[in-house]
Each structure stands twice: as structure tokens, then as C-alpha cells.
Structure 1
Amino acid sequence: MKRIVFIYSTVDGHTLKICKFLAKITEDHGFKADVSQLTPSCMIDLKSYDQIVIGASIRYGKHRPELLKFISNNLKTIESKNGAFFSVNAVARKLDKRTASDNPYVRKFLKTTAWKPKIIGIFGGMINYPIYGLLDKYMIRLIMWITKGPTNVNESVDFTDWDEVKAFGEAICKII
């Protein structure tokens, strides 16, 4: 049985939710899937997997700092395992921001890393005002107001197109 590891970097947990959804899809196709959080001190035996999928969220315009360090430290192994990447961000709530050439965060990511993923997914994230601290709540609200997004601080809005996530999961199964 081929093994896939989904490594995620998240702030509020939505990227983990997407990873679990993708893991289920790959398991339904006969693969063994593990899900592991990317932390500054994480130790994952990447060589024991047939494929590596890395998912990362954006907060205030940036991926978490450990993402690029992890990729740089493990580049050869990731490249040898048909690595796939997906980014989760609120900008991708807009249909015209869901390609690598149109999403500013993915463009920046691809410019700052030597890794060229076999496939790239870009998914709308989640704005979950009720769980944010006061500063995050109002900073994100300001950003959403500027970009014409939701501003009701009592709401949670999931921008993820789960059919797109499913299609990405199916694509992962084909490149292994």
C-alpha cells in the first residue's frame, strides 16, 4: 500500500480540516494517509512516504515562517516524492485568484522557494470572527472591508470550494 503524508501549517485549523478531507479521498483510493502538523521542531520521516503533500494557510499576507525552512531543509526528498502543495487563503474566495499565476501569495511562495510542486491547489480559506482575539478580529475585519469581504464579526464564513478540494485530492492519487 502506497503511503502519503499530508503536512499542514495552519493558524486556526482550517488547513487541517482540508488535509483530513484530502486524506479521506486518498484512503478511499487505497492509499495509506497520515496527517502531520508542520511546527518549527517537527520531525517527519519523509523517506518512508511515496508522496508528500504540503498545505499552508496565509495570515496577514504570509505563510508561516517554518514552511520555507522545512521545504529548504527537505527539498531533495520532497522533489523525489512527487510533492504537491496547496495554499489556503481568503483572497482565493475570488474565482480569479485560484491559479498559481493569479494568486499573489502562491506567486510569492514559488519565487522564494526552489521547490516546483508537481501540482498546486489554491483554496479559499475561512474567516471565523468568533474565535479571533480582539486585535485579529478587527484587523481581519478591516482587510475584509477593504477587499469587499464579510465584515460581520459574529459570523464564520467558509470560502472553501470543497468540489475543488476533491478534484485536487483525485489529482494527488493520479501522480503517485
Structure 2
Amino acid sequence: MTVLVGYTTVEGQTRRIAEAIAKRIEAKGERVALLDIGSNAEYELERPRAVILCAPVHTGSYPQPFRRFVAQEKDWLNALDSALVSVSLLITSHDAEEKAEAMNYPDALIAESGWLPRQVHHAAGALKFAEYDFFKRWMARRVLAKDRSSGKATVDHEFTDWKALEGFVDEFLATTGC
């Protein structure tokens, strides 16, 4: 049995999350096909038993290639056990409105695409100051100043809860009969 793990990434953290999911599935004895949806590469694989799709939220929405893929493949996805891993820094916010906004991103995707994932997992991303231009560094510092620190942060920080991600994968596999 094969589980498809598809992802799009903007800064690389969602790819790391998808790779960790694939590794966990393989550790449980299942086969995995890892697909970079954003590459627009042709793909051909046997019909998977289940699908986990991972995408980051930037400026309020998922990347266009991801949204296009989900809308195009919704019938196929809805016929399988499927899940969405929504990656957003807002999920770690102490501000109730920001956290609610992050929790609602999947609802907008579902309404837009017609895909009905059976499970949704919210994962926090990472801040990678070393890779940011001036504007992104400024925005990241504002986020940190508002919610987490003095705003003088300049070092990379990963917010992903890897144990919670493993728990989600284990639960997903158990509910799909894998």
C-alpha cells in the first residue's frame, strides 16, 4: 500500500514537514510517494491508499500551485482517505483572533476547491532570518515583537512541534487502516 505525501513549499519548512511525515509512514512499514506539487512535474504512480497534502500559508492563502492542484484533483482526493497539513506561524499566536484566522485557512481552501480532507493538522512553520530580505526580516521581527519576544530576534527559529506531527501521522494511519 502506498501513501502519497504531496507538498508545496515557499521557504523550505513545509518540505521538511512533508519529509518527516514520509519518514514516519515508512517507519510504520508503509510505502510512500513524496510529490512536490509546486514543481508542476508529471507524476505517475499506482493508486495510493491514502493522501496527505501539506501547504504553507503566506499572506493569507495557500500557494496558487497547491490550490490549483487540489481543485483539479478534488474528485480523486475525495475518493481516498486524505488529510491536510496546514503550515502557518499564526497557529502559535497568543492572540485569539490570529489563532482563529489560522484555524480557518483550511475552510477557505475547502470552500474554494471542493476537496474534503477527512483530517486537518495545523503545524507551525519556522522563521529563517538568514534567508530573508530586509522586508521579510522586518515583518518577522514585528510578529515576534507582538507575540513572543522583544522584537530584536535575528536568529532562525523553528516552531514546528515534531511530536504532535508524529501523533497526527500515527492517528491518520490508524484511521485509514494502514
TM-score bucket (shorter structure) = 0.7 to 0.9
Which stretch has the larger CA shift, 130-139 or 64-73?
A: 130-139
Could you say what secondary structure the match of 2:81 adopts? coil
Instruction: Check the 8 A contact 2:14/2:54 in 1, yes or no.
Output: yes
Runs of 4+ in structure 1 deviating by more than 4 angstroms, as ranges, are 99-102
- Cα deviation, 1:32-75, whole Å, max 9, x if unaligned, reads 11211112623233653221110001122221011111011111
| Residues 1:62 and 2:43 are matched in the alignment | no
TM-score relative to the length of structure 1? 0.86
- Number of aligned positions between the proteins: 173
Task: Indicate the residue corresponding to 2:137 in structure 1.
Answer: 137
- 1:102 CA drift (Å): 6.5
Could you say what secondary structure the match of 2:4 adopts? strand
- 1:81 CA drift (Å): 1.9
Q: Hey, what's the Cα distance between the residues in 2 that align with 1:100 and 1:46?
A: 37
Q: Hey, what's the Cα distance between the residues in 2 that align with 1:30 and 1:100?
A: 36
* Percent identity for Structure 1 against Structure 2: 17
Please report the RMSD computed on the Cα atoms of aligned residues, expressed in angstroms.
2.4
Q: List gaps (5 residues or longer) in structure 1.
A: none
Task: Indicate the residue corresponding to 1:88 in structure 2.
Answer: 87
| Residues 1:109 and 2:106 are matched in the alignment | no
1:48–1:156: structure 2 CA closer, same or farther, 3 Å change rule?
same
Could you say what secondary structure the match of 2:84 adopts? strand
1:90–1:49: structure 2 CA closer, same or farther, 3 Å change rule?
same
TM-score relative to the length of structure 2? 0.85
- 1:92 CA drift (Å): 1.1
1:60–1:76: structure 2 CA closer, same or farther, 3 Å change rule?
same
Q: Hey, what's the Cα distance between the residues in 2 that align with 1:80 and 1:111?
A: 17
- 1:125 CA drift (Å): 1.0
- 1:113 CA drift (Å): 2.4
Task: Indicate the residue corresponding to 1:25 in structure 2.
Answer: 24
